[in-house]
A and B are shown apart, each in its own frame.
Chain A
Amino acid sequence: MRRVILRRLIYSVPVALIASIATFALMSFAGSPLSQLESREPPPSAATIAAAKKYLRLNQPLADQYWHWLTGIFTGNWGPSVEHFDIGEMLWQRLLVTMRLVIVAVLVAMIIAVVVGVISASRRYSALDHGLSFVGFLMLSMPLFWFAILLQQGAIRVNQALGSRVLYTQGEQSIPLPSGFLGATGDIVAHLLLPTLALSLTTYAAWSRYVRSSTLEVLGADYIRLARAKGLPRRKILVRHALRTALIPFITVVGLDLGTIFSGAVVTETVFQWRGMGDFLVTAIQDYDLYAVMAWLMAVAGIIIAFNLIADLLYAVVDPRIRIG
């Protein structure tokens, strides 16, 4: 078991390394960070451009730039930003904001997916199953940005009808934040409501189909039949035998979709005007702030690699066939 953990940990290192190379290589195709400067009216002087070039390390050969950047990361220096801010610090702030949304949305989506999937499986081919399936397809086909705006507008109407701001439709928190731990948390949670709804409702659908088919597969398995033959009550069979085996692989599926969830977070934050990773990324791309974009990509890639690692380990803990081998 320990060997398994160790091996997976060691394996992640080259993956992260190659990811960094890929990121860097990719960004070389994304245009020059000087574009904004160069397209200014009136055109800046040659000296200004030369200084900018030096600042942005564009004089160095590509390999050197890469090495400079990579080693810089370990000391917290994520590289020069076109807008001259500390990329690392800004990214960290924004990360904390976005992770709230991502974590809560993932949890909510997982819960909805499991509930819908298990109900659909245990009432296979019933009207409820077909109905849930249709709704699922609808949410699968729903453009997140459109849906988020719909929710937002709906909330505004509700607020208007009720005469007061019951639902928060903008931003990730009030400014200034209410005092006291309860007040502050409550405010943040209230601001999380609509974005979480938008993101999780558009994410759960694919997962619920997976849970449904996995549950069906398990329910048809011989050991479930034997559990029934033992005379165990239905609910106990469902929870203790079916779910555990059906849901173990579910966490791996979630890990595979994490990239999509981050994409979704970017869109959601844009609609709800959060100052999170979404805004960070969009601004950085528009400004051709390549180092900022690279930092964003590396941070997200790191989180995804870490999550998949934990998922793998969890899998190993829960499934004795892997644990004992």
Chain B
Amino acid sequence: MTVATQDQRPATPAAADVLNIDRVGVRFRAGSGTVHALREVSLSVRQHEVLGVVGESGCGKSSLALAVMGLLPPNATLSGSISLRGDELVGRSEAAMESVRGARLGIVFQDPLASLNPVYTVGYQITEALLAHQQISKAAAHQRAVELLDLVGIPSPERRSAAYPHEFSGGMRQRAVIAIAIANEPDVLILDEPTTALDVTIQAQVLQALSSVRAATDAAQLLITHDLGVIAGQADRVVVLYAGRVVETAQVDELFAAPAMPYTLGLLGSLPRLANDARGRLTPIPGSPPSLLRIDGGCPFAPRCPAVQDICRTEEPSLQPVRATEHLAACHFASDIHGRPPEDLFPPLGLARALTADAARPAVTATATTTGLPPILQARNVVKHFPARGGRRGARPGHDVVHAVCGVDLDLAAGETTALVGESGSGKSTLGRLLMNLLPPTSGEIAFHGVGTRHMRGDELRRFRRATQLVFQDPTASLDPRMTAADLIAEPLRIGGVAQRTRLARAEELIQAVGLRAAHLRRYPHEFSGGQRQRISIARALSTSPELMILDEPVSSLDVSAQAGIINLLQDLQDTLRLSYLLISHDIALVNHVAARVAVMYLGRIVETGDRHHIFTRPAHPYTRALISAVPVPDPAMERQRRHQPIAGDIPNPVDPPSGCRFRTRCPRFASDLTAAEQAKCKEEIPQLIRRDTEQPVACHFPQTLQIL
């Protein structure tokens, strides 16, 4: 599939290019046809620069990484040219590529646990990389391996080099993989979604390791990710991929400030912002990325583009300069789009058809939070311990206990969104399930409208189940693949004994309310996209007219462009139906966008809680501060200004949490500001969640309200 006119390239001195990718195409032979993963992709990476490659699922970015490394699967066909400092890589024999890989090209993959062989020590895996390309002694290689571990910020590198991957935490593993990738000082370091699988505070550590690597080596970096915040903070130049094509490229400031291609514009508009106090509506991009099987003529973004014209459907635009800077965009109307805000182009879509609200529900006005209304759900001193399942035969089941939730008090107000924020091990998902009465608490009370849930039976329990619903993180896993959309949406009603005709009518009403069509009721989950499946999941949750919906990471497994649509939908539903939400999420920006009240969890305890505005502008707990400052913001200027001080260490194991204040092992205040006597207090006394001389309750002995953002 060739493009009508030739793509333009930004004018740069050729000598500065380290990696030159010229009109590269990758095709896969699949059962039902040919998949064009990449089409006519041209880009170059210059010395010392970080080139960010942005795209969502199906854009071909992973194929790009594999194509450069020569690691495409056998059923793939590679065309075009890839040259590394002038040396052509395409068409090289396997032996020739082996000498390039690891020596002149390094790569870091997404999942650090899967990337390391579990039966060899980390040190061995680094020395293996060294010895494959350098003629040095084993002792020298070992020495170098230790130095590399130190470079990427792993404490006690000598001791750690003899450890096995499963003894490392996620962040340390990824840093070890980075060490392997740079061991032989490659010309280019390729990073394929390097921090996607990591917690926010851990991501900050790894990003800092990447900065250290940048400072210490000459390597250029090709950073591939869907996270625009990471791009804003790390990249010098950016390339945007869509449906296997480069659709825009520019310097990072220019791209974020004034994109010229509607897709990029739409992406930026669909992101919830951390610093955005106005909290306007998000502008989602309708539809989903095209299947790469059929390549019709015309711009691949045309089916979703709000500014589409006839020419867009017949002629595919090539990359052309915009305003003659280094900014190139593949759009027939780039110069018109350039500089306009997303709201100009993309309507803030949300709810399709209004549902009849429950008249008995007390009216909630736009600004009312908890005035006068009793909380819907109250948790007091909830504790949940799990017996350790004993991973392999090492851990001691029957002995070890996972302290998932340790004494949580929480109030959920009617008609508003309360957010539960935390990273892995915080216990937020477990708390969600406890509140839903899906798990019995080890101790503590949970009351729904004042009635304790633990001993609910019969009718009372049934009413509770109808009134509270849970929306799961992974829409694929939470929908039984053998049931149609109609069956799935109506299942809660069926369990509740509602007649079939009523169920069907309700399913029809609901599926349209979430933005799909009645005809879709007959379809099976695998026929829908991820975003659509999540909509079905939400429709199912609405079927019993609940009062409270617990949303457990509702958008984190979706593409960015699909997330915005779901977020808008949820907000519309809340307004129309006067729903109360408990949003469980690790996504700080999302929480800032939708929540009224926020509770921050760490290792099973709530460390700070309060009004969203206060928490995000004047956090009192060091963990909250660290969390907020670790989130990359999709604003390059702001990212450059921020001083990133990632907190050290890893999230402790919930089997063996630290005594006293659980955050003390990583707390920057503990490490630098406190006296020995104060430190002892943190070690021995559990800080209670009370209002100290701060505006909101905080669980810290020495809170300090600092203005950030």
Question: Direct A–B touching in the complex (beta carbon < 8 Å)?
Answer: yes
Once the chains are docked, how many angstroms separate the CA of A245 from the CA of B101?
Answer: 23
Q: Are A230 and B118 in contact (CB under 8 A)?
A: no
The answer to whether residues A231 and B100 also contact, given A320-B119, A320-B164 and a CB cut-off of 8 A, is yes
Q: Are B167 and A324 in contact (CB under 8 A)?
A: yes
Q: Mark A233-252, 1 if CB is under 8 A from B, else 0.
A: 11000000100110010000
A-B contact pairs, 18 of them (CB 8 A): A4-B393, A222-B111, A227-B117, A229-B105, A229-B106, A230-B102, A231-B97, A231-B99, A231-B132, A232-B102, A232-B128, A234-B94, A245-B118, A248-B119, A319-B392, A321-B392, A322-B394, A324-B166
Q: Are A230 and B164 in contact (CB under 8 A)?
A: no
The answer to whether residues A322 and B392 also contact, given A228-B71, A231-B100, A231-B132 and a CB cut-off of 8 A, is yes
Once the chains are docked, how many angstroms separate the CA of A227 from the CA of B101?
Answer: 10
Once the chains are docked, how many angstroms separate the CA of A228 from the CA of B118?
Answer: 16
Nearest 3 interchain pairs by C-beta: A325-B394, A231-B102, A222-B114
Say if the beta carbon of B107 comes within 8 Å of chain A: yes
Q: Are A321 and B129 in contact (CB under 8 A)?
A: no
Q: Are B164 and A231 in contact (CB under 8 A)?
A: no
Once the chains are docked, how many angstroms separate the CA of A1 from the CA of B646?
Answer: 37
Q: Are A229 and B69 in contact (CB under 8 A)?
A: yes
List chain A residues, Cβ under 8 A from B566: none
List chain A residues, Cβ under 8 A from B94: 234
Say if the beta carbon of B595 comes within 8 Å of chain A: no
B695 smallest CB distance to A (angstroms): 46
Once the chains are docked, how many angstroms separate the CA of A245 from the CA of B94?
Answer: 24
Q: Are B103 and A231 in contact (CB under 8 A)?
A: yes
Say if the beta carbon of A223 comes within 8 Å of chain B: yes
The answer to whether residues A231 and B114 also contact, given A226-B177, A321-B392, A324-B167 and a CB cut-off of 8 A, is no
List chain A residues, Cβ under 8 A from B180: 226, 230
The answer to whether residues A231 and B109 also contact, given A322-B392, A325-B393, A325-B395 and a CB cut-off of 8 A, is no
Residue of A223, A231, A316, A323 near B117 (CB, 8 A) is: A223
A67 smallest CB distance to B (angstroms): 34
List chain B residues, Cβ under 8 A from A229: 69, 71, 101-102, 105-107, 181
List chain A residues, Cβ under 8 A from B395: 325
B141 smallest CB distance to A (angstroms): 13
Q: Are B119 and A322 in contact (CB under 8 A)?
A: no
Additional pairs, 5, CB under 8 Å, beyond known A225-B71, A319-B118, A324-B394? A223-B117, A226-B107, A231-B100, A248-B119, A322-B392
Say if the beta carbon of B198 comes within 8 Å of chain A: no
List chain B residues, Cβ under 8 A from A321: 118, 164, 166, 391-392, 394
Instruction: Name A1's closest neighbour in chain B (CB-CB).
Output: B394
B474 smallest CB distance to A (angstroms): 20
A318 smallest CB distance to B (angstroms): 7
A104 smallest CB distance to B (angstroms): 29
Instruction: Name B95's closest neighbour in chain A (CB-CB).
Output: A233
List chain A residues, Cβ under 8 A from B358: none
Once the chains are docked, how many angstroms separate the CA of A229 from the CA of B190?
Answer: 11
Say if the beta carbon of B116 comes within 8 Å of chain A: yes
**Number of B residues with CB within 8 Å of any CB on chain A:** 37
Most interface-central of B111, B133, B166, B394 (chain A CB within 10 A)? B394
Once the chains are docked, how many angstroms separate the CA of A325 from the CA of B103?
Answer: 34
Could you list which residues of chain A lie within 8 angstroms of chain B, going by C-beta atoms? 4, 221-223, 225-234, 241, 244-245, 248, 316, 318-325
Give chain A's interface secondary structure class: helix
Once the chains are docked, how many angstroms separate the CA of A231 from the CA of B69?
Answer: 10
Residue of B98, B119, B133 near A244 (CB, 8 A) is: B119
List chain A residues, Cβ under 8 A from B101: 228-231
A214 smallest CB distance to B (angstroms): 14
List chain B residues, Cβ under 8 A from A320: 118-119, 164, 166
Say if the beta carbon of B276 comes within 8 Å of chain A: no
The answer to whether residues A226 and B98 also contact, given A322-B392, A324-B394 and a CB cut-off of 8 A, is no
List chain B residues, Cβ under 8 A from A316: 393
Q: Are B166 and A231 in contact (CB under 8 A)?
A: no
B190 smallest CB distance to A (angstroms): 9
Instruction: Name A230's closest neighbour in chain B (CB-CB).
Output: B102
Say if the beta carbon of B291 comes within 8 Å of chain A: no
Q: Are B394 and A223 in contact (CB under 8 A)?
A: no
Instruction: Name B73's closest neighbour in chain A (CB-CB).
Output: A220
Once the chains are docked, how many angstroms separate the CA of A229 from the CA of B69?
Answer: 7
Could you count the A-B residue pairs with CB atoms below 8 Å apart for me: how many are there? 90
Say if the beta carbon of B576 comes within 8 Å of chain A: no
A135 smallest CB distance to B (angstroms): 24
The answer to whether residues A245 and B117 also contact, given A322-B392, A325-B395 and a CB cut-off of 8 A, is yes
Q: Are B71 and A325 in contact (CB under 8 A)?
A: no
List chain A residues, Cβ under 8 A from B100: 231
Q: Are A318 and B119 in contact (CB under 8 A)?
A: yes
Once the chains are docked, how many angstroms separate the CA of A36 from the CA of B114?
Answer: 64
B372-428 with Cβ < 8 A to chain A: 391-395
Q: Mark B119-151, 1 if CB is under 8 A from A, else 0.
A: 100000000110011000000000000000000
Q: Are A232 and B132 in contact (CB under 8 A)?
A: yes
B582 smallest CB distance to A (angstroms): 35
Instruction: Name A236's closest neighbour in chain B (CB-CB).
Output: B132
Q: Are A222 and B119 in contact (CB under 8 A)?
A: no
Residue of B105, B117, B129 near A241 (CB, 8 A) is: B117
Once the chains are docked, how many angstroms separate the CA of A223 from the CA of B128?
Answer: 13
List chain B residues, Cβ under 8 A from A323: 394
Once the chains are docked, how many angstroms separate the CA of A241 from the CA of B107?
Answer: 18
Instruction: Name B102's closest neighbour in chain A (CB-CB).
Output: A231
Say if the beta carbon of B115 comes within 8 Å of chain A: yes
Once the chains are docked, how many angstroms separate the CA of A98 from the CA of B78?
Answer: 57
A38 smallest CB distance to B (angstroms): 53
Q: Are A226 and B115 in contact (CB under 8 A)?
A: yes
Instruction: Name A232's closest neighbour in chain B (CB-CB).
Output: B132
Q: Are B69 and A324 in contact (CB under 8 A)?
A: no
Once the chains are docked, how many angstroms separate the CA of A152 from the CA of B409?
Answer: 79
Once the chains are docked, how many angstroms separate the CA of A234 from the CA of B94?
Answer: 9
Q: Mark B322-353, 1 if CB is under 8 A from A, else 0.
A: 00000000000000000000000000000000
List chain A residues, Cβ under 8 A from B167: 324
Q: Are B129 and A319 in contact (CB under 8 A)?
A: no
Instruction: Name A318's closest neighbour in chain B (CB-CB).
Output: B119
List chain A residues, Cβ under 8 A from B111: 222
Q: Are A223 and B115 in contact (CB under 8 A)?
A: yes
Q: Are A245 and B119 in contact (CB under 8 A)?
A: yes
Q: Mark B50-81, 1 if CB is under 8 A from A, else 0.
A: 00000000000000000001010000000000
Once the chains are docked, how many angstroms separate the CA of A159 from the CA of B181?
Answer: 62
Instruction: Name B101's closest neighbour in chain A (CB-CB).
Output: A231
A118 smallest CB distance to B (angstroms): 17
Q: Are A324 and B109 in contact (CB under 8 A)?
A: no
B110 smallest CB distance to A (angstroms): 8
Q: Are B102 and A223 in contact (CB under 8 A)?
A: no
Most interface-central of B105, B129, B167, B392 (chain A CB within 10 A)? B392
A255 smallest CB distance to B (angstroms): 16
Once the chains are docked, how many angstroms separate the CA of A4 from the CA of B95?
Answer: 44
Q: Are A225 and B109 in contact (CB under 8 A)?
A: yes
Q: Are A226 and B164 in contact (CB under 8 A)?
A: no
Residue of B98, B118, B391, B393 near A231 (CB, 8 A) is: B98
B147 smallest CB distance to A (angstroms): 18
Once the chains are docked, how many angstroms separate the CA of A225 from the CA of B109?
Answer: 9
Q: Are B119 and A231 in contact (CB under 8 A)?
A: no
A1 smallest CB distance to B (angstroms): 10
Residue of B69, B98, B105 near A233 (CB, 8 A) is: B98
List chain B residues, Cβ under 8 A from A245: 117-119
List chain A residues, Cβ under 8 A from B133: 231
Instruction: Name B114's closest neighbour in chain A (CB-CB).
Output: A222
Once the chains are docked, how many angstroms separate the CA of A221 from the CA of B116?
Answer: 10
Once the chains are docked, how many angstroms separate the CA of A244 from the CA of B124?
Answer: 15
B74 smallest CB distance to A (angstroms): 9
Residue of B102, B115, B164 near A324 (CB, 8 A) is: B164
Instruction: Name A319's closest neighbour in chain B (CB-CB).
Output: B119
B134 smallest CB distance to A (angstroms): 11
Most interface-central of B102, B106, B119, B167 (chain A CB within 10 A)? B119
Once the chains are docked, how many angstroms separate the CA of A221 from the CA of B117?
Answer: 9
Instruction: Name B167's closest neighbour in chain A (CB-CB).
Output: A324
